[in-house]
Amino acid sequence: MNDDILILGIESSCDETAASVTRNGREVLSNIISSQIPLHTLYGGVVPEIASRKHVEKIVPVIREALSAAEVTLQDIDAVAVTYGPGLVGALLVGVSAAKGLAYAAKKPLVAVHHIEGHVAANYLEHPDLEPPFGCLVVSGGHTHLVEVMDYGKFSIIGRTRDDAAGEAFDKVARAIGLGYPGGPKIDKKAKEGDSSAISFPKASVDGAFYDFSFSGLKSAVLNYLNHAKMQGQEVNDADLAASFQKAVVDVLTEKSAALIRERGYKKFAIAGGVASNSSLRMSMQEACGRLGAKFYSPSPIYCTDNAAMIACAGYYEYLGGARAELNLNAVPNVKLGER
């Protein structure tokens, strides 16, 4: 009798069609990601209708590949876990429909996973010692949250962005200096050639809500800087601008995380989401955690950006906790963390 629990995870909330099989939550047997980035680059950002159509094309081959790379069949799987939100509704629906079809056909339980819960769970994949409770900074293209992970699948939100997400700010600034989509990795690279103290950008905070974030002011400051330079006929050093902008974002994220670690006395602190693959943020958070006596956790970059291994991992803990979705599960594009 084999007591291992195999979860098939499916993710299609934005521009990656992904499927993965994990064993007992944390062991990744396969992790297949079909990225649409080259397609959306042509338009400077994700085009929702194109994303949905591409997911439809890719979802079955990607799931097949995830099963075969893991050397299992659908019958070996214990449950199918799928991202049901938040994300682009048409994109989410492709993954949700595929998961429902498979669960029904193979008579397997279906588990609905919140995308952010997945990002947080990415930290479990390579850190066997990491268990809740811990603090976590979630920074992606759509979200910027400071959360306390109280237990598997149980979160308390301490701070969130009031406007743009950190990743969105990276993408918009990259577009403004002609680096293209997706902006995060391009700014990260460009910043390495620049001087982060060349331009002083504002580090916005929200009155009366210390742990909340606001990035729209910073984005406007960058755009104003560019317009002003253009009007004056001055040349802009893109590397200096990228480095200075990135520093403003990283400093705010680190300062608030550090204040939270100090206030709550966390011994463990993790980062998650696409922006968590930023090299400067990783260094800055590592240094802050070290200084404050908290062990720092971060997923490898491949598990920071969207993937299905993180969904299979979060799905495993949901499954153990008894969570089961019905076959009328729907995509919920704006579901909040902690809501069902």
Minimum CB distance to Zn ion smaller for 25 or for 182: 182
Q: Which stretch binds ligand KG4 (CB under 6 A): 127-135, 253-261, 273-281, 324-332?
A: 273-281
Convert the chain into a string of H (helix), E (strand) and C (coil).
CCCCCEEEEEECCCCEEEEEEEECCCEEEEEEEEECHHHHHCCCCCCHHHHHHHHHHHHHHHHHHHHHHCCCCHHHCCEEEEEEECCCHHHHHHHHHHHHHHHHHHCCCEEEEEHHHHHHHHHHCCCCCCCCCEEEEEECCCCEEEEEEEECCEEEEEEEECCCCHHHHHHHHHHHCCCCCCHHHHHHHHHCCCCCCCCCCCCCCCCCCCCCECCHHHHHHHHHHHHHHHHCCCCCCHHHHHHHHHHHHHHHHHHHHHHHHHHHCCCEEEEECHHHHCHHHHHHHHHHHHHHCCEEECCCHHHHCCCCHHHHHHHHHHHHCCCCECCCCCCCCCCCCCCC
Minimum CB distance to Zn ion smaller for 30 or for 305: 305
Q: Indicate which of ligand KG4, Zn ion, none lies near residue 278 (CB less than 5 to 8 Å, by partner kind).
A: ligand KG4
274 binds ligand KG4 (CB under 6 A): yes
Q: Which stretch binds ligand KG4 (CB under 6 A): 94-102, 180-188, 205-213, 262-270?
A: 180-188
278 binds ligand KG4 (CB under 6 A): yes
Distance CA 31, CA 323 (A): 23
Contact mark string toward Zn ion, 106..145, x via CB under 5 A = ----------------------------------x-----
Residue of 305, 309, 317, 332 that binds ligand KG4 (CB under 6 A): 305
168 binds Zn ion (CB under 5 A): no
Report residue 44 as tokens.
Answer: 């400077």
118 binds ligand KG4 (CB under 6 A): no
Q: Which stretch binds ligand KG4 (CB under 6 A): 93-101, 226-234, 257-265, 267-275?
A: 267-275
Residue of 25, 167, 194, 299 that binds ligand KG4 (CB under 6 A): 167
90 binds ligand KG4 (CB under 6 A): no
Site for ligand KG4 in 192-251 (CB under 6 A): none
Q: Min. distance of Cβ 153 from ligand KG4 in angstroms?
A: 18
299 binds ligand KG4 (CB under 6 A): no
The contacts of residue 287 (CB under 8 Å, 6+ apart) are: none
Q: Indicate which of ligand KG4, Zn ion, none lies near residue 184 (CB less than 5 to 8 Å, by partner kind).
A: ligand KG4
Q: Min. distance of Cβ 25 from ligand KG4 in angstroms?
A: 20
Distance CA 198, CA 244 (A): 6
CA angle 59, 301, 174 (to 5 degrees): 90
Q: Indicate which of Zn ion, ligand KG4, none lies near residue 86 (CB less than 5 to 8 Å, by partner kind).
A: none
244 binds Zn ion (CB under 5 A): no
85 binds ligand KG4 (CB under 6 A): no
164 binds ligand KG4 (CB under 6 A): no
CA angle 339, 255, 179 (to 5 degrees): 80
Asked if 331 and 89 touch (Cβ cutoff 8 Å), the reply is yes
Q: Indicate which of Zn ion, ligand KG4, none lies near residue 318 (CB less than 5 to 8 Å, by partner kind).
A: none
Residue of 19, 275, 288, 335 that binds ligand KG4 (CB under 6 A): 275
Please give the residue ranges that form the binding site for ligand KG4 (CB under 6 A). 14, 140-142, 167, 170-171, 182-185, 188, 273-275, 277-278, 305-306
Please give the residue ranges that form the binding site for Zn ion (CB under 5 A). 140, 306
